[in-house]
Structure formats: C-alpha cells, structure tokens
C-alpha cells in the first residue's frame, strides 16, 4: 500500500502540447524560470526561480514509481488486468482516507496527490514511454546533477524511451558539446527551445536575452550532440513594424541550425505582460489574423532547412500546417494560399471557430455575455454586414485572452 511520503510528486504549470498528446510523466527538476523577463510571457511572473537538488527530484521519481506500482496492483486485484481507469482511481481514493481525505490530510495535499495519481495513470495507460522534465529551463542544472536524475529515471522505469525538457539558447550555448553528448547518452532525448524570433531587433524588443547568433550557436551544438531539437517560432511577434525582418531573419537562423522540429505558436498579447502594456500605450502594433498568415507565408517560403514544421497548438489558426522541409514546402504554401483565397466571411468564420474551440478547451465553456457577443459576430458574418470585420476582431481579442 502506498505511503504518505510517496503519494505525490511536484509538478509545474506547463508542458509542450506534444508531451500532452503522449501523456508524458511530468517531473519538476527546477522551479519556474531563471530568466523570466520575456515581454510576451506571464507564466512565471512574480515567482522566484529555484533549483531542486538531485535528491529531491529522485524522491519524486520514486514517488511516481510507488504510485505506478499501487495503480497496477489494485487494477489486477479488481480484475481489470492492469488497465487504468477513473473507476480504479476512485477506488484507491475511497480505500485510503488517511491519504486522500481532505478532512485528514488537507485539501492542498489531497489535490497534489490526486493530480500525481492521474498523471501517472495516464502515463501508464499510454505505455510509460515518455517523460518531460519541468520547468522552463532544466538544462540550467549542473550537468552532474542532471545526469544523476536522468540515470535514476531510466533505472527506475526501464520502459522509458524519451526524456525531454525546455531549455534556453543562452544555457545550451554555455554547455560544452561534451556535456550535451553525455546528457544525450544518459537519456536526454529532446530539447524544446523558445527561439521566438531570429531577428535581433525583435529579440531585443521582447527582452529575450539572446541574439540570433546565440540561437545558431546553441542550436548547432544541440543538433551535433545527438539530442533532438524543437525550435519554437511566434509569427507576428515583430508587429507590423518588423514583420518582414522577423520572418526573414528567423528563417535564416533556422536554415543554419537544421532543427528536428520547427513548432509554430500563436502570438497572444496577454493582459499582465510587458507586451500588453506596450500595446496599450501604442508601442506595439499587432497584426490582424490575415496579416499573420501573410507573414507566415513569407517565413515558410524562405526556409531552406531540413526540419519538420508543425503547427501543433490548439490556439493556432492554421493547424493543418505540417510536413518535412524542404519536400513539403509547396504543400505548406498551398494550405496558406487556399486560406488566402477564401472570401472574407469564410476567413472570419474560421478564425472565430478556431479561437472559440481553444477558449472552450481551457474554460470548459463560455459565459453568457461572451456567448452573446460571439453569436452577434457570427450573425454579422452570415449577413455579410459591413461591420462584420470589426466585430470579429473585437470578439477574437476577447477569445484570445482566454486561450491556451
């Protein structure tokens, strides 16, 4: 039977969508973000970055193993043959009130324990193959400590096939090639780096703390080490002023890296960020949805690298964009051109439906006031009213604030 000490492990707030679709085990190796200055990001604002010791992280790995063993044992005892289900989780909670009763353990502890059990159950049901190390820059750990964590993971769960994490280009560039190779051999399979842009002016504007040259140095080193590399790009991040340079310079940087993946992310100018304050004061002029598509076309047209481009985020407008470059370039541009050829009312309808789906996925529904505004926008589009574009833009701005 599981003990209180091994009934939960610490998890951070985010992970890449690809890790969610793979139902990865989430292990928090560091807390929050050591940079925490990017103008567009509010995920870790007001939170202090903290290292976790290798021993702390290893205890969390041991807790995940204890939870996994408990789930499998109870599943077999219930005649479920090792399968995971909501019924199984409810049975464990009901039969262990000393661990899962809020009156006994407290609501905060119980929430953490249930969250841990659900994460492990989902992971086991998907084959227990992938692990994501949180938070924003696990690579900043001392290499010996990170090696210790990676080796303990592989020893504790022999089924693991892939271990991934976020990293900053600044950090990756400072690691030696030998260190990165050692991490790869210990099990670090993939790094996700938020490039955002390859344009130095844009990078300075968003306070990224790196240059295009830094991105190239880091990316080339990661690729040479054998660790898979995902580079994240945000179309529209330069606004109207730097649009062409953002698209061109970002493509040029990626052409020199040849990352395994190029992942597109929608720009959402979120309230509570420095970028939103600049927008409010007139210091940032964001694109419309159609203008971002135009910039995206320019960007893809200039890519000459061998990478897999994917638009794998629910908040993205053109989620169909996916394929190996350079072979898929024509088909990717074709998807964009097909969108561009739509009548305005069809484009607006698609924009609203995609953003609405993302909003509902986050919130589980929409409030009455927003529902009325959405219905009004769709009615104006259907009637091809002269006001439809302005109303759709105002509605999209609200929906984006609530998107993932």
Q: Does 223 have pLDDT greater than 80?
A: yes
Could you tell me the sign of the dihedral formed by the alpha carbons of 8, 14, 16, 18, in that order? positive
What is the per-residue pLDDT for 263?
Answer: 97
User: Residue range 329-345: average pLDDT?
Assistant: 97
User: Residue range 134-162: average pLDDT?
Assistant: 98
Per cent of the chain over pLDDT 70 is 99
* CB-CB neighbours of 179 under 10 Å: 18
Tens digits of residue pLDDT in 30-51 = 999 999 999 999 999 999 999 9
- Kindly report each contact of residues 99-105 with a partner whose C-beta sits within 8 Å and lies 24 or more positions away, as own/partner: 99/2, 99/4, 99/7, 105/4
Q: What is the CA radius of gyration of the chain?
A: 23
User: Residue range 2-16: average pLDDT?
Assistant: 90
Average pLDDT of the chain to the nearest whole number: 95
pTM for the whole structure = 0.93
Cβ neighbours of residue 341 closer than 8 Å, sequence gap 6 or more: none
What is the per-residue pLDDT for 99?
Answer: 93
Could you tell me the sign of the dihedral formed by the alpha carbons of 11, 15, 17, 23, in that order? negative
User: Residue range 178-186: average pLDDT?
Assistant: 98
Cβ neighbours of residue 283 closer than 8 Å, sequence gap 6 or more: none
Tens digits of residue pLDDT in 294-314 = 999 999 999 999 999 999 988
What is the per-residue pLDDT for 78?
Answer: 96
Q: Does 95 have pLDDT greater than 80?
A: yes
Confidence of residue 258 (pLDDT cuts 50, 70, 90): very high
Q: CA 45 → CA 75, 137, 219, distances in Å? A: 41, 15, 27
What is the per-residue pLDDT for 280?
Answer: 94
Confidence of residue 404 (pLDDT cuts 50, 70, 90): low
Q: Does 239 have pLDDT greater than 70?
A: yes
DSSP-assigned beta bridge partners for residue 196:
233
């Amino acid at each position: 039977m599981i003990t209180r000490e091994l009934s939960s492990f610490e998890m951070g707030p985010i992970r890449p969508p690809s890790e969610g679709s793979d139902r990865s085990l989430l292990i928090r190796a560091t807390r929050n973000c050591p940079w925490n200055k990017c103008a567009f990001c509010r995920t870790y604002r007001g939170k202090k970055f903290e290292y976790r010791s290798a021993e702390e992280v290893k205890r969390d790995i041991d807790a995940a193993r204890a939870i996994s063993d408990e789930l499998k044992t109870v599943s077999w005892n219930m005649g479920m043959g090792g399968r995971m289900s909501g019924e199984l989780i409810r049975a464990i909670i009901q039969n262990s009130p000393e661990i899962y009763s809020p009156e006994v353990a407290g609501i905060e502890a119980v929430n953490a324990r249930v969250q841990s059990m659900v994460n492990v159950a989902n992971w086991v049901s998907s084959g227990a193959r992938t692990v994501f190390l949180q938070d924003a820059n696990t690579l900043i750990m001392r290499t010996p400590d990170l090696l210790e964590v990676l080796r303990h993971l592989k020893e504790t769960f022999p089924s693991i096939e892939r271990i991934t994490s976020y990293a900053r280009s600044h950090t990756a560039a400072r690691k030696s090639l030998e260190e990165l190779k050692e991490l790869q051999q210990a099990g670090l399979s993939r790094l996700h780096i938020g490039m955002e842009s390859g344009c130095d002016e844009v990078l300075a504007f968003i306070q990224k703390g790196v240059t295009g040259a830094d991105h190239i140095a880091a990316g080339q080193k990661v690729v040479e080490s054998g660790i898979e590399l995902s580079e994240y790009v945000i179309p529209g991040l330069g606004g109207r002023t730097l649009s062409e340079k953002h698209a061109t310079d970002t493509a040029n940087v990626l052409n020199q890296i040849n990352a395994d993946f190029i992942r597109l992310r929608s720009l959402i100018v979120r309230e509570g960020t420095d970028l939103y304050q600049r927008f409010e004061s007139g210091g940032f002029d964001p694109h419309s949805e159609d203008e971002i598509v135009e910039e995206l076309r320019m960007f893809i047209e200039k890519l000459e690298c061998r990478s897999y481009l994917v638009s794998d985020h629910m908040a993205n407008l053109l989620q169909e964009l996916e394929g190996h470059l350079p072979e898929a370039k024509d088909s990717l541009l074709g998807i964009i051109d097909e969108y561009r050829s739509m009548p305005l009312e069809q484009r607006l309808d698609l924009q609203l439906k995609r953003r609405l789906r993302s909003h509902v996925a986050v919130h589980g529904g929409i409030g009455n006031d927003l529902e009325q505004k959405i219905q009004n926008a769709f009615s104006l589009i259907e009637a091809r009213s002269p006001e439809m574009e302005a109303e759709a833009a105002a509605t999209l701005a609200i929906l984006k604030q609530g998107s993932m």
